[in-house]
Amino acid sequence: EADIYQTPRYLVIGTGKKITLECSQTMGHDKMYWYQQDPGMELHLIHYSYGVNSTEKGDLSSESTVSRIRTEHFPLTLESARPSHTSQYLCATQWSYEQYFGPGTRLTVT
Amino acid sequence: GNSVTQMEGPVTLSEEAFLTINCTYTATGYPSLFWYVQYPGEGLQLLLKATKADDKGSNKGFEATYRKETTSFHLEKGSVQVSDSAVYLCALSERGATNKLIFGTGTLLAVQP
């Protein structure tokens, strides 16, 4: 089973600030994903990576960016936070057909 | 394209009641199917899975059977507990190079004592 860590768990920040949401995993899995979860619970894929130096945009357009310089690390960055970015952000890794999720970061932009 | 449709919630049950949460899918080929559970304030946990037709996934008293003929993967539990209160999400995994998960909208279950 994968160990996936996300920090911070909760973040309240003002409009216009730059933020980075951290995601790390200890299992050496190549595939990693970022999802945005609505208050209505639906998950939207916003970014994914199939390995080091590989990143792709997901099904939902997002102003965030990601990087994958190391296998175990997949941070998500917002250059200028806006209230519309308020959401829950979930990171996941995949082995075979199964995905394993971190605890999530709940972001509130005021 | 591939998609997953779940029954809308919230579903409110009394303790020890029987639970069914419907899930149907549209997919080309033969996807793997999953149920994830999300407890308040937490990330998603894999609850059970099935990788081919007629497979039954089971865990913690929950069951779901992969029905190819009806393209369904309904979640059931014979006797729910208050601790089962959570959001339940049905998902399919596209076969091929991407293996991305397609999620349903999620169903909130509230079990009352």
Q: Name the residue among A45, A90, A94 with its Cβ closest to that of B44.
A: A90
Chain A residues lying within 8 Å of B108, measured CB to CB: 41
Nearest chain A alpha carbon to B98:
A50
Provide the 8-state DSSP code for B84: G
Query: Tokens 């069914």 identify what position?
Result: B20
Task: Give the per-residue pLDDT at B101.
Answer: 86
How close B79 gets to chain A, by Cα (Å)? 24
Distance in angstroms (rounded) separating the CA atoms of residues B47 and B3: 20
Task: Give the per-residue pLDDT at B98.
Answer: 64
Residue B106: which of B34, B56, B53 has the closest Cα?
A: B34
- Interface A-B: count of C-beta contacts within 8 A: 48
Which residues in chain A come in under a pLDDT of 50? none
State whether residue B7 sits within 8 Å of chain A by CB: no
Sign of CA dihedral B66, B9, B110, B103: positive
Task: Give the per-residue pLDDT at A28.
Answer: 93
Task: Give the per-residue pLDDT at A1.
Answer: 54
Q: Name the residue among B36, B51, B89 with its Cβ closest to that of A97.
A: B51
Task: Give the per-residue pLDDT at B112.
Answer: 96
Contact A90 B43 (CB under 8 A): yes
Contact A97 B106 (CB under 8 A): no
Which tens digit of pLDDT belongs to each residue from B21-59?
999 999 988 899 999 999 988 889 999 999 999 999 999
Distance in angstroms (rounded) separating the CA atoms of residues B109 and B113: 13
State whether residue B85 sits within 8 Å of chain A by CB: no
Residue B113: Cβ-neighbour burial (10 angstroms; 0-12, 13-18, 19+): exposed
Contact A41 B38 (CB under 8 A): yes
Which tens digit of pLDDT belongs to each residue from A19-47?
999 999 999 999 999 999 987 678 889 99
**Band (B97; pLDDT cuts 50, 70, 90):** low
How close B55 gets to chain A, by Cα (Å)? 15
∠ CA A94-A96-A99, rounded to 5°: 30
**Integer CA distances (angstroms), B108 to A103, A109, B52, B88, in order:** 18, 26, 27, 6
How close A68 gets to chain B, by Cα (Å)? 17
Task: Give the per-residue pLDDT at B48.
Answer: 96
b/e map A88-97, b = 16+ CB within 10 Å: bbbbbbbeeb
Task: Give the per-residue pLDDT at B8.
Answer: 84
